[in-house]
Amino acid sequence: MAETNEIALQVKDLKKHFGGIKAVDGCSFDLPKGKISGLIGPNGSGKTTIFNLMTGVLGADSGEVVYRGENIVNLRPYQVFNKGISRTFQITRIYREMTVFENMLSASSMRVPESEAREQAEKLMEFVTLTPLRGEYGGNLSYGQQKLLEFARALMTDPEIILLDEPAAGVNRTLLQNLLAHIHHLQEEEGKTILIIEHDMNVIMNHCEKIFVMDYGVKIAEGLPDEIQNNEYVIEAYFGHK
Ligand SMILES: Nc1ncnc2c1ncn2[C@@H]1O[C@H](COP(=O)(O)OP(=O)(O)OP(=O)(O)O)[C@@H](O)[C@H]1O
Ligand SMILES: [Mg+2]
């Protein structure tokens, strides 16, 4: 298990604009290693854009994402993925024309023998209760099932850092509890670093050790759940404006 104050990844002064919109406007934070952290903020505050900049889905205007001593910003998504950073998408990106099982295998690394990948896929499908749907096309799954499939698929390569963009949205409560239990298992037993974007405050406050809060593209607060709940800037961001 990681030492308590180790840093898995650093976001340094990231900036990204879309036309006149400064989606990320100089955001920095240190992601604690081997812990579950949360990234919260009002709609449009730049959370998903941060994930996109961290995973090479978008290029940055400026700033760095430092992982294992290397600036990984502006790498291609597959390069970031191969370095051990895996993610899910807010709007799922599973293959609609492939089966559940094929979707799982699509994320397996070339370095892993096929038999091992199949075994891993079976295990993960079982965990997210998708085994009965293994032959179903991705496009026929419900939104919640697609989220579960994407979560399971993100674990196929045994990543070191797992970024989850709204994993709870559309997932039923029972399954959500299983999902959270699995996230804790990944952290506690396997020492993974996890960052969760989520609007469900129960998920954030009860399951994240450290929380980062964004508003208008910048980090306005960070701290423990208790500190965040009582932070005046956070309360203002959520209830004060507009
Ligand atoms: N590809 C894009 N092109 C143009 N504008 C974009 C693009 N992606 C994001 N934006 C804009 O950047 C801002 C930040 O969006 P982002 O999706 O990062 O917010 P978010 O915090 O994830 O919001 P939500 O909680 O609603 O998912 C928004 O104003 C959004 O409209
Ligand atoms: Mg988002």
DSSP string, 184-242: HHHHHTT--EEEEE-S-HHHHHHH-SEEEEEETTEEEEEE-HHHHHT-HHHHIIIII--
Q: In whole angstroms, give the CA distance from residue 162 to residue 184.
A: 12
In this predicted structure, what is the pLDDT of residue 228? 93
pLDDT score at 238: 81
Distance 46 CA to ligand 1 centre (A): 6
Ligand 1 pocket test, candidate residues 11, 14, 15, 49, most atoms within 8 A of CB: 49
Checking DSSP bridges between strand 210-215 and strand 36-40, what pairing results, if any? parallel
The answer on pLDDT for 4 being more than 70 is no
In percent, the amount of the chain with pLDDT more than 70 equals 97
Residue 20: CB partners within 8 Å, gap ≥ 6? none
Q: What domains are there in the chain, each with its CATH number?
A: 7-240 (3.40.50.300)
How much is the average pLDDT of 215-234? 93
Q: What is the mean pLDDT of residues 158-178?
A: 91
pLDDT in the model for residue 3: 53
Instruction: Calculate the average pLDDT of the chain.
Output: 92
> What pLDDT is attached to residue 2?
47
Digit-coded pLDDT (tens) for 21-76: 999 999 999 999 999 999 999 999 999 999 999 999 999 999 999 999 999 999 99
What is the model's pLDDT at position 5?
84
Average pLDDT, stretch 198-215? 95
* pLDDT of the residue at 90: 87
What is the CA(115)–ligand 1 centre distance, in A?
40
- Closest to 34 in 3D by CA, of 138, 183, 230, 217: 183
Q: Strand locations in the chain, DSSP E?
A: 7-18, 21-32, 36-40, 62-67, 70-71, 85-87, 161-165, 193-197, 210-215, 218-223
- Under the banding of pLDDT at 50, 70 and 90, the label for residue 110 is low
Share of the chain above pLDDT 90, in %: 77
Residue 91 pLDDT:
85
Which two structure tokens, joined as six digits, stand for 113? Answer: 């023998």
* Residue 48 near ligand 1, beta carbon < 6 Å: yes
**pLDDT for the residue 222:** 96
Q: Which atom of ligand 1 is nearest to the CA of 214?
A: 21
Choose one of 14, 17, 25, 47 to mutate for the ligand 1 pocket test, by most ligand atoms within 8 angstroms of C-beta.
Answer: 47
Is 60 exceeded by the pLDDT of residue 159? yes
At residue 200, the pLDDT reads: 92
Q: Is the pLDDT of residue 166 over 60?
A: yes
Assess whether pLDDT exceeds 60 at residue 13.
Answer: yes
State which residues have CB under 5 angstroms from ligand 2, the bound ion. 47-48, 90
Ligand 2 centroid, distance to 120 Cα (angstroms)? 29
Q: Is 192 in the pocket of ligand 1 (CB under 6 A)?
A: no
